[in-house]
Amino acid sequence: MRTGVWLVGARGSVATTSIVGGLALRAGLAGPTGCVTELPELRGPALPAFADLVFGGHDVATTPLCKRAEALATAGVLPGRLVAALPDELAAVEEELRPAPGVGSQAERAAAIVRDLTDFRDRHRLDRVVVVNVSATEPTATAHPAHADPATLRDALTGPDEVLPASSLYAYAALTAGCPYVDFTPSTGARLPALHTLAVERGLPYAGHDGKTGETLVKSVLAPMFAMRHLTVRSWSGINLLGGGDGANLADPAANAAKVESKQRVLGETLGYVPQGGTRIDYVEELGDFKTAWDLITFSGFLGTGMRMEFTWHGCDSALAAPLVLDLARLTAAAHAAGRVGPLTDLAFFFKDPLGSPTHSLGEQWTRLAEFTRALHTGRESADGQAG
Amino acid sequence: MRTGVWLVGARGSVATTSIVGGLALRAGLAGPTGCVTELPELRGPALPAFADLVFGGHDVATTPLCKRAEALATAGVLPGRLVAALPDELAAVEEELRPAPGVGSQAERAAAIVRDLTDFRDRHRLDRVVVVNVSATEPTATAHPAHADPATLRDALTGPDEVLPASSLYAYAALTAGCPYVDFTPSTGARLPALHTLAVERGLPYAGHDGKTGETLVKSVLAPMFAMRHLTVRSWSGINLLGGGDGANLADPAANAAKVESKQRVLGETLGYVPQGGTRIDYVEELGDFKTAWDLITFSGFLGTGMRMEFTWHGCDSALAAPLVLDLARLTAAAHAAGRVGPLTDLAFFFKDPLGSPTHSLGEQWTRLAEFTRALHTGRESADGQAG
Amino acid sequence: MRTGVWLVGARGSVATTSIVGGLALRAGLAGPTGCVTELPELRGPALPAFADLVFGGHDVATTPLCKRAEALATAGVLPGRLVAALPDELAAVEEELRPAPGVGSQAERAAAIVRDLTDFRDRHRLDRVVVVNVSATEPTATAHPAHADPATLRDALTGPDEVLPASSLYAYAALTAGCPYVDFTPSTGARLPALHTLAVERGLPYAGHDGKTGETLVKSVLAPMFAMRHLTVRSWSGINLLGGGDGANLADPAANAAKVESKQRVLGETLGYVPQGGTRIDYVEELGDFKTAWDLITFSGFLGTGMRMEFTWHGCDSALAAPLVLDLARLTAAAHAAGRVGPLTDLAFFFKDPLGSPTHSLGEQWTRLAEFTRALHTGRESADGQAG
Amino acid sequence: MRTGVWLVGARGSVATTSIVGGLALRAGLAGPTGCVTELPELRGPALPAFADLVFGGHDVATTPLCKRAEALATAGVLPGRLVAALPDELAAVEEELRPAPGVGSQAERAAAIVRDLTDFRDRHRLDRVVVVNVSATEPTATAHPAHADPATLRDALTGPDEVLPASSLYAYAALTAGCPYVDFTPSTGARLPALHTLAVERGLPYAGHDGKTGETLVKSVLAPMFAMRHLTVRSWSGINLLGGGDGANLADPAANAAKVESKQRVLGETLGYVPQGGTRIDYVEELGDFKTAWDLITFSGFLGTGMRMEFTWHGCDSALAAPLVLDLARLTAAAHAAGRVGPLTDLAFFFKDPLGSPTHSLGEQWTRLAEFTRALHTGRESADGQAG
Ligand SMILES: NC(=O)c1ccc[n+]([C@@H]2O[C@H](COP(=O)([O-])OP(=O)(O)OC[C@H]3O[C@@H](n4cnc5c(N)ncnc54)[C@H](O)[C@@H]3O)[C@@H](O)[C@H]2O)c1
Ligand SMILES: NC(=O)c1ccc[n+]([C@@H]2O[C@H](COP(=O)([O-])OP(=O)(O)OC[C@H]3O[C@@H](n4cnc5c(N)ncnc54)[C@H](O)[C@@H]3O)[C@@H](O)[C@H]2O)c1
Ligand SMILES: NC(=O)c1ccc[n+]([C@@H]2O[C@H](COP(=O)([O-])OP(=O)(O)OC[C@H]3O[C@@H](n4cnc5c(N)ncnc54)[C@H](O)[C@@H]3O)[C@@H](O)[C@H]2O)c1
Ligand SMILES: NC(=O)c1ccc[n+]([C@@H]2O[C@H](COP(=O)([O-])OP(=O)(O)OC[C@H]3O[C@@H](n4cnc5c(N)ncnc54)[C@H](O)[C@@H]3O)[C@@H](O)[C@H]2O)c1
Ligand code: NA
Ligand code: NA
């Protein structure tokens, strides 16, 4: 099952790490640490092999992919030896990268994206192309009446307005080109009624939002722990210090707000109440791609006794995100092949702000993911009958 | 369902906190924070009400219960106002405490314990008495041929040898008196072939070992997180600093060894491999009942990138343990009433070193506990058919 | 040497803790832990004895002092037994508290303050009264032409404008009444040319700003450590989580800004360059008077190797501040008695944002403080000849 | 002033980092971050220039220096580009390394060391050679009557006994060869009456013990902070997790004991009392040269209020130690040139367990170091008249 992985933001840290890692896996130069689809519980015939993945993508930046890869190696995100060992493979992917269409009406730009996608699919005789958004996080989008249904939207795009935020324009184009769409960022993406309807009309699945790689991952196991033990969380406060491209972008208060909001949701939905405290994101350039998050949790137990826990997480965001991007591409491709349509709520395991209103407990998300994947491998419908 | 809760080590911190808390719940002076049996998923008709619990116990110490309670209040473990509000209730429990039998052969001491238990049951017309060991942790016990079966054991106890460690002598006496037995400590307790057979012969359930209240609780959600994300844990090192009676006892290297061993098991069994590092327990008197545990976890992700996490847990051990003691008494009483026999492996949720070879993932343990409890409430057999 | 300690904000946490502590020291119910003037290096005849301190003060609030003291005892800031043991002494101080003058022109309000101060001094036949500002932190004040000299200021105060922020109006009144003035808060206080001139004219010393009790205290020893070792601090980021009255007030962005600025100064001035990162203050009501600060420091060493340090400080702000308030009152009284005039830059040890442009290294501040105090005890002028 | 730096343990991590760094400084490829002798307060004409340092040494191991350097680069301790840029320089140092004499009586081995040192000095026409011990930490040495004076010692060394531990045999040989001796390890080194007398007889200075690079460095500023604030430290507990050669060696309980003891001394001597708690050293291979230390400090303040602080230090031991080795070589050479004789107690700044009974406060140690160095630069005797 030859599968295209089209990355929006293809020259960014997450995309570059995903590409180098995918090529290294294909070449047998690296193992699948961090790829959950290679765990015994998820592995199986329905997923495209790493060797069957073909990479391409859009970006507004023009830095050569190998330069980005070298920079990531210098920063300790990637082993330099892998970049050195894959010059031809990286050059081949470079050939598949296209500038983000930037001129004309949104309809014209969407058409250009569609062309890039279909050309890519044809050129490589791919069974399908999964579009994954790993571009910079957008500010919270403003509502527009044309978001309601596909026909109105199609009309509005031909006008002069910026009707859709970039992430949704990519989603629109992807669905139009018959490609499933995954949003790894907190941006709007396919989360608009018009795009949902479009996906259903075209028989396409979509997934998102916001890859769960750090503090929120830890929250998604610690919050259920407090809940299962009937301990009352009094406050949960945290700070995320990060550099890198994503950090610089999140220093923008608007983008920051979108991210912080999706981070806090986990707590309220898991505990059934919102404890005091909040989450901060601060940009500290020198930290580069290695993020440090610190959280303080105060809680009370039997007879009101006050206690506390704190944790520090020093994670490399791109190294945590990249294998999940590959996992999502594989799972979404398999879901498409199996005829799944609409929001893939069983992929909540991967996201800070998952589609649907599912659990935020990582353990329960894992159970659902394992069942979903098993159904794909065995060709049966998933538990909650989402098959198309 | 009037239920006796007989605490071995009844004047210790955990026992005293359990008693004060149980009395406060009965009097409506405190809520059930920390009691998992009061969560919606577990609550139900099969469990004895808090108001139906009657406390008694053995101890080698003679400090009056109200003195211990006042000391715990001063130390911030209990609210002083509860101790002040329950003088008569505490005095009534004081009447039910008995000195730990200390003279004669082990057979004679066991007989004395049996008498204390049956007198207690008769005096209060109790449906049953659950014996819970919350006494000081013993050194690892030495094997003895008489541990193999009940008959040989019964004979050997009449001789001059210390055939059984204290925890097992209490278990033997409890089972002989027809009482289910729970070991909240890491001591041997009912974990001997002779005692297992005795429990089965008498149609009694038993549970253990070693209440999971601090660092190991956190481990039981973090280790599965790393496993589910296919991240390789390179090292996991920790230190536990604690004062209090338990801390002083654990400063003894032999008891320490038993505890440390049960703490490390979680990792190997969850991850499928044993990472580097180990766990230390150090006695720091000044910390009193508030324990501080610090853990450092180094792990590697995609393409080998090294990352790390650390956490500090500042917990009040007795406040964490006491509600679980009440939970275990209620659940074991209900299991006994429902005819469950032998090791209650579905109670793994509560223990660092659970009976059987179950999962160490708190999430999976929770699922099993919920199913087990639901079966008790609905009167059906539990999933794995453990009914008597 | 009978010395009045007049507290602006006398019903606040810091003031109440200072008062209870001062009374407890006088009654021999508590030791001087936290009082640096009781260390062997500083102790001596020039300082008024604790028994010679008489408390009074202003506040806009009206909560009875003993109620505030009880609330602080409940919160764990003060031992309840001290509050219970000092009912008469607290009632006596209650008699000395006055409402903050709130009506009329600023000149009229200043006159009312002056009257309260002189009445207090006369009533108790005090040798002198030291005014210490421990009221809520003000927003950064706006400049006004009348801040330039005493005469212009005196005129302007009679008009309808709020020429001075409250802290400076108290300073103005204190100096007018012949009282030395100490600012324990980051507010403007005596830091205006007109007030400096007034102090010099009246032969009065003054001190400030912003008691150094938590994160900044730690910074003032860690930053010199990095400097002395020629290690390059790359980033220093921190977050302060605090509840209590002060926390609520600092949640106001304007007050927060004043505080954060004075916190960051230490680093730049100690290291000679400003590392990346910043400091946050967040209000978390549930933490009460116990503040948690977390700081991450990344630094590089020989040949550029990157390293990091982090610390968590769980301090009780009022318990840390109160003994320093007593120290400052004693030292400023002694300085006044010895004829010291103008800014007491040798008291930098106590402040986050000390007057003058002295060192921020706690060790060097200590050396200067010890010399200054020795000079007071021996009656000699201090090293830099500040005697009047 | 051409100065030899003879490293005992020349192929170890600290030595290799010192050599690569020294060569890089000479070649202008790196700056002096971490070298305190390059701070404005210490810089000056009395110190040999980096360009005047010539390296040699002994080791029992035979791994080529460039292999060790490459391994350290892979481990992130050194920048690989420096190793790559200095092949000839490293090869030249390789020529100056000698196997540690291992056969014959201790007298014969000492004579061999003396020969290696004098040959080195002659071959390079060096003004002097400073011997610095950076070899593996020894177990605590056993006393021997011959340790009392040089003559008895000289005799005893000709016999079959291992009269001196290796570190002291090197010190004996160094002094015999007219070379000042520095012990960067906690081993015995020159700390024997016989060797002290020998040093005085030969007019030679010596320095030690145990380079202060991590947790103890932090302790030496935090402990004085608590003392200066009159806060009572209740407990101070810590754990050091480290890999690397030094870690493996310290896993040996005997060596561990020597190290732990020198670590605890700082607290007792700074605070005037020994708080509860202790320090652990655990070997975790995977951490390599990057050590993680965690310390918990509980303290009480005014009126007994309990508070706490914790810190985590993630340092690269060799990168912290190497510049200090260069500093010590420069300072000791200058001291020798200036005629200083006997223990250089003014170098306490560099050591966990300094010679003499000086202060453990880093600030005071800094003041003494600065005065000492200034005296060397200006040619005057140091404050406490140690000139020869
Ligand atoms: N790394 C993680 O752990 C993680 C987790 C969750 C979400 N995310 C999200 O993934 C995204 C990528 O993160 P990153 O660290 O790679 O950031 P990055 O800044 O390194 O890369 C973003 C890339 O997107 C490109 N881009 C920006 N606007 C574009 C547009 N309109 N069209 C096409 N390309 C565009 C940029 O030129 C850049 O190359 C961010 O939105 C981040 O919030 C990352
Ligand atoms: N507190 C927790 O979070 C926790 C968690 C897991 C296990 N535990 C275990 O629970 C037990 C109790 O802890 P604690 O903090 O209450 O300790 P504790 O020292 O306060 O109490 C132990 C009590 O047992 C009594 N005792 C000792 N030997 C006895 C004997 N032979 N017969 C009867 N009584 C005896 C002692 O006199 C004492 O009163 C310990 O074994 C501990 O390891 C506690
Ligand atoms: N606690 C510390 O460690 C610390 C350290 C440095 C500085 N400070 C400063 O000390 C001050 C007091 O802190 P706190 O925790 O006691 O706060 P708090 O809120 O408990 O007390 C402040 C008191 O000031 C009173 N007040 C407000 N405006 C006033 C006015 N115009 N005149 C007279 N009284 C007035 C309030 O009514 C209140 O009683 C704050 O400015 C704080 O920033 C405290
Ligand atoms: N790195 C630090 O921060 C630091 C701080 C204080 C003290 N120290 C001490 O410095 C020493 C070196 O540390 P390291 O990390 O380089 O250790 P390492 O194990 O990497 O190096 C020690 C070297 O000494 C050699 N050696 C052992 N016995 C010898 C002998 N008898 N003669 C000659 N050479 C011998 C070994 O072969 C090895 O090459 C240790 O004693 C350590 O405790 C290091
Ligand atoms: Na911490
Ligand atoms: Na930490």
Q: Looking at this predicted complex, what is its ipTM? A: 0.94
Query: In this predicted model, what pLDDT tens digit does every residue of A365-375 receive, in sequence order?
Result: 999 999 999 99
Average pLDDT over residues A318-322: 97
Q: Which residues line ligand 1 (CB under 6 A)?
A: A 8-9, 11-14, 58-61, 100, 134-137, 166, 184-185, 210-211, 213, 244-246, 249, 317-318, 320-321
Distance of CA D147 from the midpoint of ligand 1 (Å): 68
Q: Which residues of D touch B277 (CB under 8 A)?
A: 241, 282, 284
Chain A: give the shortest CA distance to residue B312, in Å: 5
What Cα–Cα distance (Å) separates residue B282 from each residue in B218, B247, B286, D306?
Answer: 19, 8, 12, 20
> Under 8 Å CB-to-CB from B178, ≥6 apart: which residues?
B128, B202, B204
In whole angstroms, what is the distance from residue C208 CA to residue C186 CA? 8
Alpha helices in chain A (DSSP H): 13-26, 65-74, 80-85, 87-94, 106-123, 150-157, 166-176, 193-202, 215-228, 244-250, 253-271, 317-337, 362-378
Ligand nearest to the CA of B61: 2
A352-356, C8-12, C137-141: least confidently modelled range: C137-141
Whole-number Å distance between alpha carbons of C25 and B201: 68
- Name the residue with the closest Cα to ligand 4, atom 37: D61
Give the integer Cα–Cα distance in Å for D185 and D245: 13
Q: What is the mean pLDDT of chain B?
A: 93
* Residues pairing with D283 in the sheet: D242
**pLDDT at res. B257:** 67
**Closest of D371, D372, D348, D369 to residue D360, by C-alpha:** D348
Is pTM beyond 0.90? Reply is: yes
Residue A161 scores a pLDDT above 70: yes
CB D332 within 8 A of CB D182: yes
What sign has the CA pseudo-torsion C153, C157, C160, C161? positive
**Atom 42 of ligand 1 has which residue's CA nearest to it?**
A185
Q: What is the 8-class DSSP label of residue D182? A: E
Kindly state the tokens that stand for D172. Answer: 């004996």
* Tokens encoding A30: 């690296």
Paired with B55 in beta bridges are: B5
Ligand 1: centre distance to CA B228 (Å):
25
DSSP A348: G
What local confidence, expressed as pLDDT, does residue B132 receive? 98
Q: How far is the CA of A13 from the centre of ligand 1 (A)?
A: 7
**What number is the average pLDDT over the span A7-30?**
97
pLDDT (average), residues D349-363 = 88
Q: Is B353 in the pocket of ligand 2 (CB under 6 A)?
A: no
A377 preceded by cis ω (within 30°)? no
Quote the pLDDT of residue A258.
63
> Class of the C215-316 domain?
alpha beta
Q: Could you give the 3-state DSSP secondary structure of residue A97?
A: strand
Q: Do residues D187 and D133 make contact, with C-beta atoms less than 8 angstroms apart?
A: yes
Nearest residue in chain A measured CA to CA from B18: A302
Local structure of residue D239 (DSSP, 8 states): E
Give distance in angstroms: CA of A321 to centre of ligand 1. Answer: 11
Ligand 5 ion: residues within 5 Å (CB): B 312; C 312
The share of chain B scoring above pLDDT 70, in percent, equals: 93
Find out whether the beta carbon of B382 lies less than 6 Å from any atom of ligand 2: no
- Peptide bond connecting B377 to the previous residue in cis, omega within 30 degrees of 0: no
Residue with tokens 């080698």: B60
Residues of C in contact with D77 (CB under 8 A): 305
Task: Note whether C305 contacts D313, CB cutoff 8 Å.
Answer: no
Residue B355 CA, distance from chain mean position: 12
**Average confidence score pLDDT of chain C:** 93
Close Cβ partners of A194 (under 8 Å, ≥ 6 residues apart): A146, A147, A148, A149, A150, A152, A153
Residue D75 has pLDDT above 70, yes or no: yes
Assign 3-state DSSP to chain A and report helix, strand, coil percentages, each to 5. Answer: 45, 20, 35
A384 or D322: whose pLDDT is higher? D322
Q: Comparing A19-28, B180-189, C358-367, D139-148, which segment has the lowest mean pLDDT? A: C358-367
Report which bound ligand comes closest to the CA of D217.
Answer: 4
Under 8 Å CB-to-CB from C115, ≥6 apart: which residues?
none
Mean pLDDT across D11-40: 97
CB C318 near ligand 3, within 6 Å: yes
Decide if pLDDT at D312 tops 70: yes
- pLDDT tens-place string over residues A198-241: 999 999 999 999 999 988 899 999 999 999 999 999 999 999 99
Region of poorest pLDDT, from B49-63, B68-82, B109-123, B252-266: B252-266
Written as six digits, the tokens of A89 are: 């493979």
3-class DSSP state for residue D356?
coil
Q: Which amino acid is at C221?
A: V
D370 lines ligand 4 (CB under 6 A): no
Please name the residues in contact with A36: beta carbons below 8 A apart, sequence gap of 6 or more. A42, A323, A324, A327, A349, A369, B228, B229, B230
Burial profile B94-108: b = 16 or more Cβ within 10 angstroms, e = fewer: eebbbebbeeebbbe
Atom index in ligand 2 nearest the CA of residue B315 equals 3
D209-223 in b/e form (b: 16+ CB < 10 A) is bbbbbbbbbbbbbbb
In degrees and rounded to multiples of 5, residue C62 shows phi and psi of -125, 0
Q: Determine the pLDDT at residue C140.
A: 83
**Torsion of the alpha carbons at C216, C218, C223 and C224, rounded to the nearest 10:** 120
Which residue, among A330, A323, A326, has the nearest Cα to A373 in the 3D structure?
A: A330
Q: Which two tokens stand for residue D13?
A: 């991590």
Closest CA to C223 of C238, C215, C233, C211: C233
Q: Which atom of ligand 2 is nearest to the CA of B14?
A: 16
CA distance C215 to C259: 12
Q: What is the pLDDT of residue B249?
A: 72
Sort out which chain D residues have CB atoms less than 8 A from C315's CB and list them: 301, 307, 309
D223-280 pLDDT tens trace: 999 999 999 999 999 999 998 767 777 766 666 666 666 667 788 889 999 999 998 8
Distance of residue B303 Cα from the nearest chain A Cα, in angstroms: 6
- Smallest CA-to-CA distance from B278 within D296, D215, D241 is with D241
**Position C383 pLDDT exceeds 50:** no
- Which residues 307-336 of chain A have a CB within 8 Å of chain B? 307-316, 319-320, 322-323
- Distance of alpha carbon A53 from alpha carbon A298, whole angstroms: 46
pLDDT at B255: 64
Spatial separation of the C-alpha atoms in residues C199 and C191, rounded to whole Å = 11
> Is D9's C-beta closer than 6 angstroms to any atom of ligand 4?
yes
pLDDT bucket at A139, cuts 50 / 70 / 90: confident
Give CA–CA dist A44/A38, Å, rounded.
Answer: 8
| pLDDT at residue D385, rounded to an integer | 42
Which chains reach chain B with 3 or more Cβ–Cβ distances below 8 angstroms? A, D
Evaluated on CA atoms D248, D253, D255, D259, the torsion sign reads positive
Q: Residues of B with CB below 8 A from D280's CB?
A: 239, 280, 282
Domain ranges of chain A: 3-211+319-383, 215-316
Pocket test of ligand 4: the residue of D246, D249, D316 to mutate, having most ligand atoms within 8 Å of its CB, is: D246
For residues C305 and C249, the answer to whether their CB atoms sit within 8 Å is no
CB contact under 8 A, D303 and C82: yes
pLDDT, residue B387, reads: 37
- Looking from the CA of residue A250, the nearest atom of ligand 1 is 43
- d(Cα C284, Cα B96) in Å, to the nearest integer? 45
Q: Ligand 3 center to residue C12 CA distance, Å?
A: 6
Q: Which CATH class is domain B3-211+319-383?
A: alpha beta
**In chain D, what are the helix, strand and coil shares in percent, each to the nearest 5?**
50, 20, 35
pLDDT at A257: 67
Quote the tokens at residue A361.
């407990």
C237's tokens: 């980021």
